[in-house]
Amino acid sequence: MKMNIATIPGDGIGPDIVREGCKVLKTIGKKFGHEFVFTETLAGGAAYDLYGEPLPAKTLEACCKSDAVLLGAVGGPKWDSLPGKMRPEQALLGLRSGMKVYANIRPALMFKQLSDACPLKKEVVGEGLDILIVRELTGGIYFGDRGRTEDGNEAWDTERYSKTEIERILKIGFESAQKRQKKLCVVDKANILESSRLWREVAEGMKARYSDVELSYMYVDNAAMQLVRNPGQFDVIATSNMFGDILSDEASQITGSIGMLASASIGDSGPGLYEPIHGSAPDIAGKDLANPLATILSCAMMLRFSFKLEKEARAIESAIEAVLDEGWRTGDIAGNSSQREALGNKLVGTKKMGDLVSQKISSM
Ligand code: NAD
């Protein structure tokens, strides 16, 4: 099978981690007999420096023509004073809408080997944490009508959803739940918001088609509380753009390791967009200090969602588990020197971590 992957290294640590993602994909290709062809494109600050805009048309075109896109991260202090539309982060919005990827899928997964990094008490987290958040990405209040009165003293933003927009997110939510613990929680504010009541109406209309999935609803304020009180109760959460934005950051933080969390943004057809959830970490860029595992896990999501290569995706995840089991850690997940010593952890850089995962895959 031949697959064309557009890569956007971007800024900061982006090039460091995308290089390791590609390395692991090449190893998968070799082991399982697939051909991954990589086309590197520019977006973010790197594109602004060369072309004067954060998302050149030819980048978007290359991404839309590909089978999947792997993105590192964009942004950094160098571009912070640019006007809004020229900022590197604009490239993200342009990519999402240009590629029509309307659903963001973020696993908040705590690796048992890293449970010490979780900020919650052990008795709260229990055996671990494995939540999948499906967030609507191209609608709702972030895209609705907004404005200011002429005197500038009042402003408004509008939460607006169509049944179609809701249904396609819930479909992903139900189908994901079917492959996991079979529980879907729709998070909303249906006691106040009419748009939330529409989410519930659509979910009620769909639930008979997914009778093996236990459907529940939760108000977003309660969900924010329950995520730190009893996170183990959640399997799949489906929610709107703004609620998902906030809750997915909260959920990722309770896993304790920003360098480990992957994400996928997908639409109906066309390529998906795969990226780690963290930013460009300018403080450690180019120093071989970044943890590449979030990016490598994003590659596993790419194999699973875009290419339906489940066995290959699992191979990456198992290799990462094995490397962690052996005590290999990048700085962000290694703990301080006395913790490292106590746990027998071995500190490695970005490149070595990518090598270790690749070697594990090859030797499986
Ligand atoms: P950040 O995620 O880049 O960094 C936060 C902290 O986490 C830093 O201390 C950083 O060193 C550390 N960190 C992040 N990823 C790491 C990794 N893989 N390994 C080890 N440590 C890691 O967030 P920030 O500092 O708020 O933002 C920096 C820049 O990134 C800003 O310009 C911001 O706009 C941009 N940003 C981009 C994206 C994206 O491209 N999707 C997302 C968030 C932020």
Residue 256: pLDDT over 80 = no
For ligand 1, say whether the CB of 60 is within 6 Å of any of its atoms.
Answer: no
Could you tell which of 278, 291, 348, 350 is best to mutate to test the pocket of ligand 1, judged by most ligand atoms within 8 Å of the CB? 278
What would the mean pLDDT of 72-88 be, rounded to a whole number?
95
Q: Give the helix/strand (H/E) hosting 167.
A: helix 163-178
182 near 173, Cβ under 8 Å?
A: no
For ligand 1, say whether the CB of 104 is within 6 Å of any of its atoms.
Answer: no
For ligand 1, say whether the CB of 159 is within 6 Å of any of its atoms.
Answer: no
- So what's the pLDDT on residue 116? 81
Q: Which of 221, 283, 311, 346 is catalytic?
A: 221
Task: Supply 101's token pair.
Answer: 């990827």
For ligand 1, say whether the CB of 329 is within 6 Å of any of its atoms.
Answer: no
For ligand 1, say whether the CB of 89 is within 6 Å of any of its atoms.
Answer: yes
Q: Which pairs from 78-84 meet CB under 8 Å and 24+ separation?
A: 78/45, 79/11, 79/44, 79/45, 79/48, 82/48
268 is an active site residue: no
Q: How far is the CA of 54 from the centre of ligand 1 (A)?
A: 18
16 is an active site residue: no
- So what's the pLDDT on residue 56? 98
Q: Which residues lie closer than 8 Å to 3 by C-beta, 6 or more apart?
A: 34, 35, 36, 37, 67, 68, 306, 307
Residue 123: pLDDT over 80 = yes
- So what's the pLDDT on residue 342? 84
Q: How far is the CA of 226 from the centre of ligand 1 (A)?
A: 26
Better-scored residue on pLDDT, 316 or 115:
316
Q: Which residues lie closer than 8 Å to 238 by C-beta, 6 or more apart?
A: 134, 169, 170, 172, 173, 184, 185, 186, 187
Q: What tens digit of pLDDT does each residue of 15-72 get?
A: 999 999 999 999 999 999 999 999 999 999 999 999 999 999 999 999 999 999 999 9
pLDDT over 70, % of the chain? 100
Q: Give SS3 for 239.
A: strand
Q: How far is the CA of 285 from the centre of ligand 1 (A)?
A: 10
- So what's the pLDDT on residue 346? 93
DSSP for residue 78: G
- So what's the pLDDT on residue 168? 97
Q: How far is the CA of 185 from the centre of ligand 1 (A)?
A: 29
Q: Give SS3 for 199.
A: helix
Q: What tens digit of pLDDT does each residue of 201-235 get?
A: 999 999 999 999 999 999 999 999 999 999 999 99
Q: How far is the CA of 45 from the centre of ligand 1 (A)?
A: 14
Q: What is the pTM of this model?
A: 0.92
Q: What tens digit of pLDDT does each residue of 154-204 get?
A: 999 999 999 999 999 999 999 999 999 999 999 999 999 999 999 999 999
Please give the number of the atom of ligand 1 that sits closest to the Cα of 278.
2
142 is an active site residue: yes
For ligand 1, say whether the CB of 74 is within 6 Å of any of its atoms.
Answer: yes
For ligand 1, say whether the CB of 277 is within 6 Å of any of its atoms.
Answer: no
Q: Which of 188, 189, 235, 332 is catalytic?
A: 189
Residue 127: pLDDT over 80 = no
Q: How far is the CA of 306 from the centre of ligand 1 (A)?
A: 26
